A and B are shown apart, each in its own frame.
Chain A
Amino acid sequence: TQLLEQSPQFLSIQEGENLTVYCNSSSVFSSLQWYRQEPGEGPVLLVTVVTGGEVKKLKRLTFQFGDARKDSSLHITAAQTGDTGLYLCAGGSGNTGKLIFGQGTTLQVKP
């Protein structure tokens, strides 16, 4: 069974701080997605990484896929209150299209 371990599960920081969320597995994934979900809404796709070692940037967010395609990280620089939400990593593998989700990281950014 493929599993994605996401850490930390909860993070409360002040506006302006940096943070990193990790997503680790012993399995190889064909691709890995990061989603952000605000309370009462559905997850919104932030990025997809597919190549080992790939780094993608989305404004203050930097996403990295591990060389072996077993892990990923999300780094946020100078967090803002609008970054508050549940961050989910999800890996795709096999031929079904189904995603394996991490447990999620609840981020609270305080003003």
Chain B
Amino acid sequence: DAMVIQNPRYQVTQFGKPVTLSCSQTLNHNVMYWYQQKSSQAPKLLFHYYDKDFNNEADTPDNFQSRRPNTSFCFLDIRSPGLGDAAMYLCATSRDLLQGGYEQYFGPGTRLTVT
């Protein structure tokens, strides 16, 4: 089945120790998104890629970076995690808007714990 995969599902890192979360998709969608979600809240968009074009949200801290080496993969790098960065990180994809693409398809998420 076509899907969005996130690895790992659970990640524990130490305060200040860089961490990378990964996302892959078999949907062949142009657009990929990274969200941060804290408990029982709506997902908060960090940034998105339209093909290779990177779009950062204005309030996303510099501590968060992303890479998209090809259509299928996208990475979220947290350079110096703080305790406040503990959250669920969600990857999502969508088709090009011209193909009717407001629908986003989410991965299962990575739960990040910072100790």
**Cross-chain contact A42 with B90 (CB below 8 angstroms):** yes
Whether B109 sits at the interface, judged by CB under 8 Å, is yes
Q: What total of chain A residues lie within 8 Å of the partner, measured CB to CB?
A: 25
**Cross-chain contact B102 with A97 (CB below 8 angstroms):** yes
Total A-B pairs in contact (CB under 8 Å)? 60
A window 69-88: CB within 8 A of B: 86, 88
**Cross-chain contact B97 with A95 (CB below 8 angstroms):** yes
- Which among B31, B42, B48, B106 has the greatest number of chain A C-beta atoms within 10 A? B42
Q: CB within 8 A of A44: which of B33, B106, B111?
A: B106
Known A30-B102, A42-B109, A44-B106; judge A104-B41 contact (CB<8 A). Answer: yes
Contacts of A30 in B (CB 8 A): 102
Q: What total of chain B residues lie within 8 Å of the partner, measured CB to CB?
A: 27
**Cross-chain contact B97 with A97 (CB below 8 angstroms):** yes
**Cross-chain contact B102 with A41 (CB below 8 angstroms):** no
Please, how many angstroms separate the alpha-carbon atoms of A96 and B48 in the complex? Answer: 10
Known A33-B102, A48-B102; judge A97-B31 contact (CB<8 A). Answer: yes
Whether B25 sits at the interface, judged by CB under 8 Å, is no
Please, how many angstroms separate the alpha-carbon atoms of A90 and B33 in the complex? Answer: 15
Least Cβ–Cβ distance between A17 and chain B, in angstroms? 21
Please, how many angstroms separate the alpha-carbon atoms of A86 and B106 in the complex? Answer: 14
**Cross-chain contact A97 with B50 (CB below 8 angstroms):** yes
**Cross-chain contact A42 with B106 (CB below 8 angstroms):** yes
Whether B104 sits at the interface, judged by CB under 8 Å, is yes
Chain B positions within 8 Å of A, measured between CB atoms, are 4, 6, 31, 33, 40-43, 45, 48, 50, 55, 90, 92, 94, 96-97, 101-109, 111
- Having A41-B108, A88-B43, one finds 9 other A-B pairs with CB under 8 Å, namely A33-B104, A40-B109, A45-B106, A48-B102, A96-B97, A97-B31, A97-B101, A101-B42, A104-B40
- Complex A-B: 17 CB contacts under 8 Å: A30-B102, A31-B102, A35-B106, A42-B90, A42-B106, A42-B109, A43-B43, A43-B90, A44-B106, A88-B42, A92-B102, A95-B97, A97-B31, A97-B96, A97-B102, A98-B33, A101-B42
